[in-house]
Chain A
Amino acid sequence: MLLQPLAGIGGKANGLFSRVGLAGRFLLETVYYSGMCLRRPRLVIKEIYFVGVLSLAIIVVSGLFVGMVLGLQMYDTLDRFGSGEVVGMVVALSLVRELGPVLSAILFASRAGSAVTAEIGLMRATEQISAMEMMAIQPIARVVTPRFWAGVISLPLLTSIFNVTGILGGYLVAVNLLGVDGGMFWSEMQDSVDFRLDIMNGFDKSVIFAIAVSLVAVFEGYHATATAEGVSRATTRTVVISALLVLGLDFVLTAFMFRGI
């Protein structure tokens, strides 16, 4: 009786670990079969359109608003210490180091990751995956790898666009609304944002998030139960797991990149 809850926890943990192992193996398979993407880049380009180009609107709008809110909030606090003009630096650093990669990845997971999961899941539910196997075509090569690489390529680019629009949003609020000097805004930013430490580390983060989110999306879709309910669960899981994974990874990466632990 006492063992019941323990066994329950053990079972859950076991399930979790075996799923992580499966995902790892799936990633290896995906990389192994990636030759198809090099031979037929068109397949990847088509997917980049779906996951990347069609996510532009949400990324640009969100970036703009996040930058504007950052500008408002930061200026308010900084002005109390008489250093309102460093708002440009604070906005840029927060975006480039943290908010850009993390928020873009979460937005990308909800907009594109969920769509990829639903698409692959439905392909499984309607036997399209089986049909491909019966045609002697490896579905991981034909269906999974183009979507995976499209995600890995698109997210870092979207993150850069998010950062740029965010900084523009911060500029609009700080300079046009709150009256910070435009020259100060940019020069403070230029002085304190380091290309290697800030921009490249942020970019590296976005690449790692891109791999994580894309893997979760294709993995959940490919292993979705072949029913309407199964696909809806897989889609939800993609968004939830991606968000948690991105936040968790962000902590670890930040610790290594900026604190030098």
Chain B
Amino acid sequence: MSADSSQSLLPDLLVEIRSVSFGYENNLVLRNIDLTVRRGQVVAILGPSGCGKTTLLRLIGGQLKPSRGEVMVDGLAVPQLDRDDLFQLRRKMGMLFQFGALFTDLSVFENVAFQMREHTDLPEEMITDLVLMKLHAVGLRGAHELMPAELSGGMARRVALARAIALDPMLILYDEPFAGLDPISLGVVSKLIRTLNDALGTTSVIVTHDVATSLDIVDYVYLISDGRVVAHGRVEEIRASSDPFVQQFIKGEADGPVAFHYPTGDYASMIFPGHGD
């Protein structure tokens, strides 16, 4: 797909993560991660819950600083940026939070208009046009007067998506965009992520554990487990991988390299204390 057909003159790599570790000495959440995202691509970071995926997203957004290693976005070293430069960079990023994180005291319209009002001094008519355009793109122009509490989970996610693309970002970060959606909303949201990425010419990073949905729409996959990148490649390469972890994860098997049982002592000796003595 667009992965190999990038004809842009801009540096090809939008996000570069080089030997990044995060956490404390004894408790590293991420260990020596290398990850790159090309412009125009939709990249999925897949992994079991609690494997450090969201941490990775927060490192890209500059909300966390790595313990070691480099995080580069658009040629800038994110951890070294001061607050103003970081905020400048973030204006070019959009982020979709796990449950939308819509501002509950503002209407759908005002949620999407939020950044335009904060960051630009566009006239009111133009803001109206832009907001309705963004809402139209996610199919919710008709819902612009509703409050977030009146939306279904899928609609809230779409409004959040419209808000994330409000200022036409160069990079959109998605934190579990598929979590807790019904099948129809799931289809709508995943299709939107792909089409918006291509239509806006932006780049997307999706953190998720939903293998089936994400493999259908992304260009490149990173599989993360226990803080390490265990496999990466294009979708077809991942599907064809013979790695036991990859297979367990893709097929959703209960036991395998990721054990079913939480590590503990011998079963018999726990039930019958003194049994093995």
Please tell me which stretch of A20-28, A67-75, A129-137 contacts chain B, meaning at least 4 of its Cβ atoms lie within 8 angstroms of it: A129-137
Tell me the count of chain A residues lying within 8 A, CB to CB, of chain B.
Answer: 14
Cross-chain contact of A135 among B63, B86, B90 (Cβ < 8 A): B90
Whole-angstrom distance between the Cβ of B60 and the nearest chain A Cβ: 10
| B101–A128 touching, CB < 8 Å | yes
A126 to B148 alpha-carbon distance, docked (Å) = 12
Would you call A126 and B93 a contact (CB within 8 A)? Answer: no
CB of A194 within 8 Å of the partner chain: no
Q: What is the chain B residue whose CB lies nearest that of A122? A: B104
Q: Which residue of A lies closest to B117 (CB)?
A: A40
User: With A127-B97, A130-B63, A130-B97 in contact, do A135 and B104 touch (Cβ < 8 Å)?
Assistant: no
A137-B118 in contact (CB<8A):
yes
Q: Which of A127, A136, A137, A138 meets B101, CB within 8 Å?
A: A127
A147-168 vs B, CB cutoff 8 Å, 1 = contact: the mask equals 0000000000000000000000
Decide: B63 and A128 in contact? CB cutoff 8 A. no
- A223 is an interface residue with CB less than 8 A from chain B: no
Count of chain B residues near A, Cβ 8 A: 21
Min CB gap A168→B, angstroms = 36
Q: Does B88 contact A (CB under 8 A)?
A: yes
Question: In residues 99-156 of chain A, which contact B (Cβ within 8 Å)?
Answer: 122-123, 126-128, 130-131, 133-138, 142
Given A128-B104, A130-B63, check contact A136 B99 (CB 8 Å).
Answer: no
Check if A136 sits within 8 Å of B63, measured CB to CB.
no
Closest CB in chain A relative to B95 CB, distance in Å: 4
Q: Does B261 contact A (CB under 8 A)?
A: no
Tell whether B275 is near chain A: CB-to-CB under 8 Å.
no
B2 within 8 A of A: no
- With the chains together, A128 CA to B99 CA distance in Å? 10
CB <8 Å contact, A137 and B97: no
Identify which of A128, A134, A137 contacts B61 (C-beta below 8 A). Answer: A134
Are A126 and B115 in contact, CB atoms less than 8 angstroms apart? Answer: no
Chain A residues in 8 Å Cβ range of B234: none
Inter-chain CB contacts under 8 Å: number: 46
Give the one of A126, A130, A134, A137 with max B CB within 10 A. Answer: A134
The CA of A138 and the CA of B91, in the complex, are separated in Å by 12
A-chain residues with CB within 8 Å of residue B32 when the two chains form the complex? none
Q: Does B103 contact A (CB under 8 A)?
A: yes
B101-117, CB < 8 A from A: 101-104, 114-115
CA distance A131 to B104 in the complex (A): 12
Give chain B residues whose Cβ lies under 8 Å from the Cβ of A142: 118
| Smallest CB gap from A135: residue in B | B115
Q: Is the CB of A136 within 8 A of B97?
A: no
From residue A205, how far is it (CB to closest CB) to chain B in Å?
A: 32
A135 to B63, CA, bound (A): 12
Which residue of chain B has the shortest Cβ distance to A126 in the bound complex? B101
Q: Is there contact, CB below 8 Å, between B103 and A136?
A: no
**Interface contact A136-B98, CB-CB below 8 Å:** no
Cα–Cα, bound, A218→B173 (Å): 29
Cα(A69)–Cα(B202), bound, Å: 69
CA of A134 to CA of B171, assembled, Å: 12
In the complex, which of the residues B86, B91, B101 has the most CB atoms of chain A within 10 Å of its own CB atom?
A: B101
Minimum CB–CB distance from B231 to chain A (whole Å) comes to 29
Q: Which residues of A contact B102 (CB under 8 A)?
A: 128
CB neighbours of A136 from chain B (8 A): 86-88, 90-91, 119
Are B114 and A135 interface neighbours, CB within 8 A? yes
Proximity bits, B45-73, A CB within 8 Å = 1, else 0: 00000000000000001010000000000
Q: How far is the CB of A170 from chain B (nearest CB, A)?
A: 40
- With contacts A127-B97, A142-B118 taken as known, whether A133 is within 8 angstroms of B103 at the C-beta atoms is no
In the complex formed, the residue of B with least CB distance to A141 is B118
Can you give 29 contacting A-B residue pairs, CB < 8 Å?
A122-B104, A126-B101, A126-B104, A127-B97, A127-B98, A127-B99, A128-B101, A128-B104, A131-B95, A131-B101, A133-B63, A133-B90, A134-B61, A134-B93, A134-B95, A134-B173, A135-B90, A135-B91, A135-B95, A135-B115, A135-B118, A136-B86, A136-B88, A136-B90, A136-B91, A136-B119, A137-B115, A137-B118, A137-B119
Chain A positions within 8 Å of B, measured between CB atoms, are 122-123, 126-128, 130-131, 133-138, 142
Given A122-B104, A128-B102, A137-B115, 13 other A-B contacts at CB below 8 A? A126-B99, A127-B98, A127-B99, A128-B101, A131-B95, A133-B63, A133-B90, A134-B61, A135-B115, A135-B118, A136-B87, A136-B91, A137-B119
Shortest 3 CB-CB contacts between residues of A and residues of B: A136-B87, A127-B101, A136-B90
